[in-house]
């Protein structure tokens, strides 16, 4: 990267910040929660229209809002690059999670407000901040280089926070929308402010509903208790066997000793983010938090059916049910892990009880290849933009679109990054973005496109 191009891009990004702030203010003023029970559908439509207008103003060709199977509007567009140029898709989403109770906010959630150098509003970071950083990058590069040296496509989803799969279904039915050599999924962020971060690992998931039956009906605990095979007790014994005394998930045949190789998960941050009560410790044993949340499986009982306390009677349970949610590290096959969970529940339920299991969800994990030319270009771009080497992190939850991309565009490199950082408090009250993070992310994106396009 020539010094002058990097400096010119930095200057163009700096001078574009006032406009970026204005665009962010317009975007966050729209209550684009893709759930008509919470905010009117017109807000999402308006956000899609505004995103389409902004992309068009930034110079993207053929921008349009496309309805996806869940009824949301995805904004897409694509500009042809020079002959033989690499193809890059820049992804963001224009929907947000609900604001919740405005009383929990120090300033109005739908009004971009500066406080202590940060910009507050719902969506200011997740993901309208990323959308604005993308726009800023595109304008800066166009201004400095006279155009984009790559074939440039944008995808801006309208229902990401609903997990309703609209964008994934659209991509599967129209794969040309996501055709690329590099897919930049700008919907994550940095492990701490100023430390450029690539999210390279997402866990897969597979839940199982387990039902345990021991008798034809409940038995009186006075008459039969002590010898009656308690279905709830049997279920609890099976569930207890899913973890050891340190909280490690110990499903027969499923490895649980992997070590996370990327940036650590700060223990104090974990304690604060997970809102642990005084005296309660994270479950780590001899492992690190990052091992437990990104590199190893985790089985969690997320629902349990037994007699509610309001209907208590002196009876031994004849039947009890639970849903066990299993998270599996990227690289492990989620279906195989789910099968092991099912076998474990059958093997560890005592009293000869009848055990019935049903798989209720399944999603594969994602692991970025991380060693291709796009990753190398992004690492160079981040180093220049942030003055700091990029680190890698994981995410315990899944991003189904990232997994779908590995099937739809298997040759493409998928890069997960963004303006978020711990202080952004995404999804909670008082969400915010730091303008420096927005500026540096935009510069990194512009440098990345320049680098991929050979403008060095």
CB of 92 to Zn ion, least distance (A): 8
Is residue 30 within 8 A of residue 43, CB to CB? The reply is yes
Q: Per-residue x/- marks for Zn ion, 187-206, CB under 5 A?
A: x-------------------
Cα 35 to the center of its chain, rounded Å: 19
**CA-wise closest residue to 121 among 136, 130, 133, 109:** 109
Taking the least distance from each CB to Zn ion, the nearer of 197 and 233 is: 197
Q: Taking contact as CB under 5 A, which single stretch among the options 185-193, 214-222, 267-275, 346-354 is the one that binds Zn ion?
A: 185-193
Counting contacts by CB under 5 A, is residue 431 touching Zn ion? no
CB of 272 to Zn ion, least distance (A): 21
Q: Is 7 a catalytic residue?
A: no
Q: Which residues of 256-291 are buried (b: 16+ CB within 10 A; e: fewer)?
A: beeebebbebeeeebeeeeeeeeeeebbbeebbbbb
Q: Is 257 a catalytic residue?
A: no
The interface with Zn ion within residues 99-128 (CB under 5 A) comprises 126-127
Per DSSP, what are the bridge partners of residue 97? none
CB of 194 to Zn ion, least distance (A): 21
Size of the site for Zn ion (CB under 5 A): 3
Q: Taking contact as CB under 5 A, which single stretch among the options 25-33, 108-116, 183-191, 391-399 is the one that binds Zn ion?
A: 183-191
Is residue 78 within 8 A of residue 62, CB to CB? The reply is yes
Strands (E), 203-348: 204-213, 219-220, 298-305, 315-316, 319-328
Taking the least distance from each CB to Zn ion, the nearer of 196 and 418 is: 418
Burial status of residue 106 (CB atoms within 10 A of its CB: 0-12, 13-18, 19 or more) = exposed
**CA-wise closest residue to 344 among 249, 417, 280:** 249
**CA-wise closest residue to 189 among 397, 379, 394, 420:** 420
Catalytic residue among 157, 160, 421, 431: 160
Taking the least distance from each CB to Zn ion, the nearer of 163 and 221 is: 163
The interface with Zn ion within residues 201-260 (CB under 5 A) comprises none
Counting contacts by CB under 5 A, is residue 157 touching Zn ion? no
Q: Taking contact as CB under 5 A, which single stretch among the options 84-92, 179-187, 304-312, 336-344 is the one that binds Zn ion?
A: 179-187
Counting contacts by CB under 5 A, is residue 20 touching Zn ion? no
CB of 161 to Zn ion, least distance (A): 6
CA 174, CA 426: separation in Å to the nearest integer? 31
The interface with Zn ion within residues 127-146 (CB under 5 A) comprises 127
CA dihedral 192, 198, 201, 205 (to 10 degrees): 70
Taking the least distance from each CB to Zn ion, the nearer of 156 and 443 is: 156
Active site positions, annotated: 95, 160
Residues that bind Zn ion (CB under 5 A): 126-127, 187
């Amino acid at each position: 990267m020539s010094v002058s191009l990097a400096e010119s891009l930095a200057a163009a990004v700096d001078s574009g910040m006032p406009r970026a702030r204005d665009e962010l203010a317009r975007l966050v003023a729209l209550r684009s929660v893709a759930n008509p029970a919470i905010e009117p559908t017109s807000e999402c439509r308006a956000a899609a229209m505004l995103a389409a207008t902004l992309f068009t103003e930034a110079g993207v060709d053929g921008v349009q809002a496309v309805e996806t199977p869940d009824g949301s509007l995805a904004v897409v567009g694509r500009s042809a690059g020079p002959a033989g140029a690499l193809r890059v898709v820049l992804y963001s989403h224009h929907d947000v999670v609900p604001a919740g109770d405005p009383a929990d906010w120090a300033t109005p959630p739908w009004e971009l407000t500066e406080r202590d150098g940060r910009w507050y509003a719902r969506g200011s970071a997740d993901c309208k901040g990323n959308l604005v950083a993308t726009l800023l990058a595109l304008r800066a590069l166009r201004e400095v280089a006279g155009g984009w040296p790559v074939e440039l496509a944008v995808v801006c989803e309208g229902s990401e926070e609903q997990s309703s799969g609209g964008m994934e279904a659209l991509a599967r039915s129209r794969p040309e929308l996501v055709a690329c050599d590099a897919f930049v999924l700008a919907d994550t962020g940095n492990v701490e402010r100023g430390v450029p971060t690539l999210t390279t690992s997402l866990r897969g998931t597979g839940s199982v509903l387990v039902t345990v039956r021991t008798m034809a009906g409940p038995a009186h605990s006075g008459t039969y208790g002590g010898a009656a095979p308690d279905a709830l007790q049997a279920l609890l014994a099976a569930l207890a066997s899913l973890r050891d005394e340190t909280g490690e998930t110990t499903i027969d045949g499923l490895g649980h000793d992997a070590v996370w190789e990327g940036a650590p998960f700060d223990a104090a941050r974990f304690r604060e983010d997970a809102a642990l009560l005084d005296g309660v410790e994270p479950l780590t044993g001899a492992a690190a938090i990052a091992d437990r949340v990104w590199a190893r499986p985790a089985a969690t009982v997320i629902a349990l059916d037994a007699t509610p306390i309001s209907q208590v009677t002196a009876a031994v349970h004849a039947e009890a049910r639970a849903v066990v949610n299993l998270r599996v590290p990227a690289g492990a096959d989620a279906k195989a892990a789910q099968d092991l969970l099912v076998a474990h529940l059958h093997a560890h339920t005592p009293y000869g009880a009848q055990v019935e299991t049903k798989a209720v969800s399944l999603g594969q994990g994602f692991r970025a290849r991380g060693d291709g030319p796009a990753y190398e270009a992004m690492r160079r771009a981040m180093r220049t933009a942030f003055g700091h080497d990029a680190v890698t992190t994981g995410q315990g939850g899944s991003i189904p679109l990232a997994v779908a991309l590995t099937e739809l565009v298997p040759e493409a490199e998928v890069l997960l990054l963004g303006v978020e950082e711990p202080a952004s408090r995404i999804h909670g009250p008082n969400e915010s973005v730091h303008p420096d993070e927005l500026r540096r992310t935009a510069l990194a994106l512009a440098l990345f496109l320049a680098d991929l396009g050979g403008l060095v």
